[in-house]
Amino acid sequence: MLTGAVTNVLKLCAGRPRPDFYYRCFPEAQLEGAEEVPWTLPLHCTGDNATIIEGRKSFPSGHSSWSFSVMTWCFLYISGKLATFSSKGEGWRLCVSVVPLLLASCIAISRTCDNHHHWQDVLVGSMLGIVIAYTVYHRYYHSLSHKHCALPLSHTIESTQTIESYEYNSYDLDYHEKEVKVALIASVTNSQLTVTSFQLLVTMIQTAGYNQHRQW
């Protein structure tokens, strides 16, 4: 939607005629009043009004911007999933990744072959689609050289928070274990391991196990 909105705004602002605008304006390939003197001709278009308006929307190419926007996204997504540009990237992964860009190029070039766009229209439309796709992609995924390029940003953030929580819980568990060991050593050293101290020791061990279960 973003690509289409930007492209249509530029089309309306530029109003550049298409290469086939003459045949849109004069579908019969003949000027109105051709029998008159050339510099006195009215030069009024005789074609369909909707076709004439569409003929003034050459810049930039909508097909080029749309195709490169979608296919560039596919290229970035496939490259990230296959880790094409990581240190372990292989040649076949690059070949698979660039297939969407080849399809987009064929679509863009066909617009000049059909005489619907100038080459400048195709070039600017293609660049517009690439920039938008690149910008939107990196709002949700890491760069292709990142070690987590296959994962979305939200997933890696949640994983980092989980690891930090696990480290904190492990530290808390170690603290309770140390309390239990200190109580045991103190009881044995003083030779006062009575029933009351033993019950206290069991209570501390149960507390440590309960805290571990609650934190996980």
pLDDT in tens, 155-173: 655 555 554 554 445 444 4
Does residue 173 belong to any structural domain of this protein?
yes
3 state DSSP class of 22: helix
Counted domains in the chain:
2
**Domain carrying residue 69:** 60-151
Same domain, 92 and 131: yes
Q: Out of 117, 118, 138, 148, which one is annotated catalytic?
A: 117
Q: Is 63 a catalytic residue?
A: yes
Q: Of 151, 173, 196, which residue is a domain's last?
A: 151
Same domain, 68 and 136: yes
What pLDDT was estimated at residue 142? 86
Same domain, 84 and 162: no
Does residue 2 belong to any structural domain of this protein?
no
Q: C-alpha 10: how far from its chain's center?
A: 23
What is the spatial distance between Cα 47 and Cα 54, in angstroms, rounded to a whole number? 12
**Model confidence, pTM:** 0.63
What is the spatial distance between Cα 126 and Cα 104, in angstroms, rounded to a whole number? 9
Same domain, 140 and 107: yes
Q: Quick one: tokens of 108? A: 């863009």
Q: Of 101, 121, 151, which residue is a domain's last?
A: 151
Does residue 124 belong to any structural domain of this protein?
yes
Does residue 27 belong to any structural domain of this protein?
no
3 state DSSP class of 81: helix
Same domain, 146 and 98: yes
Same domain, 141 and 162: no
What is the spatial distance between Cα 151 and Cα 134, in angstroms, rounded to a whole number? 16
Same domain, 64 and 131: yes
Same domain, 145 and 94: yes
Does residue 43 belong to any structural domain of this protein?
no
Q: Is 142 a catalytic residue?
A: no
pLDDT in tens, 173-215: 454 454 544 444 444 444 444 445 555 555 665 665 545 545 4
Category of 146 on φ-ψ map: left (φ > 0), alpha (ψ -120 to 50) or beta: beta
Q: Out of 44, 63, 148, 213, which one is annotated catalytic?
A: 63
Same domain, 112 and 125: yes
* CB neighbours of residue 63 within 10 Å: 22
Q: What is the greatest pairwise CA distance in the chain?
A: 128
